[in-house]
Chain A
Amino acid sequence: DTGVSQDPRHKITKRGQNVTFRCDPISEHNRLYWYRQTLGQGPEFLTYFQNEAQLEKSRLLSDRFSAERPKGSFSTLEIQRTEQGDSAMYLCASSFQGEQFFGPGTRLTVL
């Protein structure tokens, strides 16, 4: 399968714990995006990379969130001191030009 992959698919954690998600983009894609989706809403932009450079971060993103793409390939998204409001589907997408292709997402539940 050569699509975008995300790991884990599901994560249940207790409030205050740290969590880390991984995204592996389509191999020739230089852009990688993170989005968050809550019930009844469309995906909301969090941050994106072109190769290893983080080019934009949403103003809505708390400083508890950090993302990296150290070698311009896979990316990680870390959430520190999780809160119940962080419960959502976290989506990763990649592109070369134009269309973004999404992974299956990581469903985070914070208890």
Chain B
Amino acid sequence: DQQVKQNSPSLSVQEGRISILNCDYTNSMFDYFLWYKKYPAEGPTFLISISSIKDKNEDGRFTVFLNKSAKHLSLHIVPSQPGDSAVYFCAASKNFGNEKLTFGTGTRLTIIP
């Protein structure tokens, strides 16, 4: 039972344009959502998070949007840079992040110079 889904295994975007990565979840008990970036042979690096009491959180070039009624969140990166090329994981948790994370399968983002 895949409770967190990332339906796009890969995405290619021109440098300078907007990258939009999507994530859907099925468990309505999730109340905290995170995005991680992962390079090969390294652990995931935390990017940005959002609590279910908000619908948007912004940090520099990264913005996460949460649509609770649709059980959908998205990560926007603008402008996209070559260093953004990596695998991006969406994760969800209960109890506002004080429990285990449930991850999606990841989206490989490639930024084309």
Contacting pair A99 B46 (CB below 8 A): yes
Interface size class of A (residues with CB under 8 A): 20 to 34
| B: contact size bracket | 20 to 34
Cβ of B63 within 8 Å of any chain A Cβ, yes or no, is no
Which residues of B have CB within 8 Å of A4? 43
Residue of B nearest to A41 (CB): B105
For chain A residues 25-49, which have a beta carbon within 8 Å of chain B?
A: 31, 33, 35, 40-45, 48
Q: Does B89 contact A (CB under 8 A)?
A: yes
Q: Given A42-B104, A43-B89, A99-B34, do A31 and B43 touch, yes or no (CB 8 Å)?
A: no
Contact call A33/B100, Cβ cutoff below 8 A: yes
On whether the beta carbons of B96 and A98 are closer than 8 Å, the reply is: yes
Q: Which of A14-22, A63-71, A73-81, A103-111 contacts B (4 or more CB under 8 A)?
A: A103-111
- With A41-B105, A43-B89, A99-B97 as contacts: A91 and B49 at CB distance below 8 Å: no
A-B contact pairs, 21 of them (CB 8 A): A40-B105, A42-B91, A42-B105, A43-B101, A43-B103, A44-B103, A45-B102, A48-B100, A91-B44, A93-B101, A95-B97, A97-B96, A97-B97, A97-B98, A98-B49, A99-B97, A100-B97, A100-B101, A102-B36, A104-B42, A105-B42
Listed in ascending order, the chain A residues whose CB lies under 8 Å from chain B are 4, 6, 31, 33, 35, 40-45, 48, 56, 91, 93, 95, 97-105, 107
